[in-house]
Structure 1
Amino acid sequence: MLSPARRAITAVLTPAALTAPLFLAPPTPAATRSPVPSSGATAQEDQDETLLLRSAREYAIALANLPGPALEQAFLAGMIPHHAAAVAMARQELARGSRPELKAMAQNIISSQNKEISRMTGWLHTWYGLTPEVARTRVPHAVQQARAPMTTWMDTTTARLSTVPAGPRFDQAFMQAMIPHHETAAVASTAVPGHAVHDALTTLAQQIVAAQNAQVEQMRTWLHDWYPS
């Protein structure tokens, strides 16, 4: 039986999208490598993560094919709700997790990504006179379709986390959800350097790749150390 996450992904990805070669300006290797199975994850969850990252690469390609101003608007319109979903997940970890180290990371996610949401929202207004909501309506249909699996996955994952019991089990579920969430943000951000109009956005995209990949590596280590079976 397909898991809810995989049904959400495969419902949007066409067979062509699953098999098509992926071409994009060379990103940082850590942002686009194939996922390493997380300790405690099932084979199905690893397959779901692989499909999700493939969708993220398709989305990055679609973004990179846009002219500079359109790319900026589409990227910002997509990354703002992506960050908001991470903040919502991190708030659940603060309320229901048990590990102080992971709670500290969750607080960092809330603080840093809320600041980036404010910055990106301000850029949309200053550069293009748009709100995030209006900017989302202007994203080309092909780009919206490429991003759809990630949106569906985020909604499903956030809802599923709310059903996990508090304590160590929640810590594990939070990391297994946040790892692919961070990875998709890093992959999408690789579309910005070399294509954006504003240097500030390129800098932010590079910071997203570096910061979120570092947190992914830390969470993989914790999963291996805390849940070895």
Structure 2
Amino acid sequence: MKKRLTAAFTITTLGTLAFAQTGMTHGGMDHSQMGMGGGMQMTDMMGMMGGLDKLSGKGFDRAFLSMMVPHHQAAVEMSREILKTTRNAQVKTWATSIIKDQNTEIAQMNTLLKSYGGVDSKMAASMKGMMTGMVGDIRKAGPGDKDRAFVKGMVPHHGSALMMANMALMQSQNKDILKLSRDIGRGQAQEIYDFQLWLLK
């Protein structure tokens, strides 16, 4: 139990830092819909989860999967967009990896959702709305700024995934969802770290 809670705390901390360090003021999310103008507080971040933290049992699992699918789809769309223009080898590697890994996880989540009666359309629509504008921010960036817009946008995007994965680690009782959440947490925490180092160059 102690080991699991430590891992969960690490994921939450990394997710929080991802938001705090970027200030959520750069491109990558529709700030008007998410209330992200200026500094980002923990209460704002929890509110962004659409009440996911208040659910339990199968209701939580279904809502979590229904929200994470469009969340992943937004990352795939961003990655496909940047691949149209980038000449940076590292950015190409990240974008290609994101498309591969998150499409694999989307397929897993859609399969799991079948056992819960399908997608929770309300929760899915809520998350899809939150993702509005992410691809547009890359398109609007100047020719020399698109790579940076992509990487900066992926930091808070991954940060919110870490928060959701952490909730699932603590609240789900489904072994497949626990494993999926652990994998999301590990992979995206590492990518946030890599993105931040790249942005500091």
Could you say if the C-alpha distance between residues 30 and 81 of structure 1 is closer, same or farther in structure 2, counting changes exceeding 3 Å? Answer: same
- CA offsets per residue over residues 51-71 of structure 1, 9 Å max, x none? 387533334583232121000
Compute the TM-score of the two structures, normalised by the length of structure 2. 0.79
Instruction: Judge conservation of contact 2:15–2:158 (CA < 8 Å) in 1.
Output: no
Query: Residues of 2 paired with 1:52 and 1:181: CA distance?
Result: 16
Query: Residues of 2 paired with 1:224 and 1:153: CA distance?
Result: 27
1:194 is aligned to 2:189: no
Query: Residues of 2 paired with 1:174 and 1:49: CA distance?
Result: 20
**Structure 1 unaligned spans of 5+:** 1-25
SS in 2 for 1:45: coil
Instruction: Judge conservation of contact 1:78–1:136 (CA < 8 Å) in 2.
Output: no
1:56 is aligned to 2:45: yes
1:129 is aligned to 2:114: no
Report what 2:30 is aligned to.
none
Report what 1:30 is aligned to.
14
Could you say if the C-alpha distance between residues 102 and 34 of structure 1 is closer, same or farther in structure 2, counting changes exceeding 3 Å? Answer: closer
Q: Report which of the two structures shows the higher radius of gyration computed on alpha carbons.
A: 1
1:115 is aligned to 2:100: no
SS in 1 for 2:26: helix
Could you say if the C-alpha distance between residues 33 and 54 of structure 1 is closer, same or farther in structure 2, counting changes exceeding 3 Å? Answer: farther
Report what 1:180 is aligned to.
156
Residue 138 (structure 2) aligned to one of 146, 161, 167: 161
Q: Percent same amino acid among aligned pairs?
A: 24
Query: Residues of 1 paired with 2:89 and 2:105: CA distance?
Result: 24
Instruction: Judge conservation of contact 1:52–1:180 (CA < 8 Å) in 2.
Output: no
Report what 1:213 is aligned to.
189
Query: Residues of 2 paired with 1:200 and 1:37: CA distance?
Result: 32
Corresponding residue pairs, total: 184
Which residue identity does 2:138 align to in structure 1?
L
Report what 1:20 is aligned to.
none
Query: Residues of 2 paired with 1:97 and 1:207: CA distance?
Result: 28
Spell out the pairing of 1:37-52 with structure 2 (5 A cutoff). Answer: 37=21, 44-45=25-26, 48=37, 50-51=39-40
Could you say if the C-alpha distance between residues 199 and 87 of structure 1 is closer, same or farther in structure 2, counting changes exceeding 3 Å? Answer: same
Could you say if the C-alpha distance between residues 111 and 53 of structure 1 is closer, same or farther in structure 2, counting changes exceeding 3 Å? Answer: farther
Report the CA distance between 1:195 and its aligned residue. Answer: 1.4
Report what 2:4 is aligned to.
none
**Structure 2 unaligned spans of 5+:** 1-7, 28-35
Instruction: Judge conservation of contact 2:18–2:156 (CA < 8 Å) in 1.
Output: no
Compute the TM-score of the two structures, normalised by the length of structure 1. 0.70
- CA offsets per residue over residues 63-108 of structure 1, 9 Å max, x none? 2321210000000000000000000000111111121011101100
1:75 is aligned to 2:67: no
Report what 2:3 is aligned to.
none
Report the CA distance between 1:33 and its aligned residue. Answer: 3.1
SS in 2 for 1:129: coil
* CA RMSD of superposed structures (Å): 2.8
Report what 2:95 is aligned to.
106
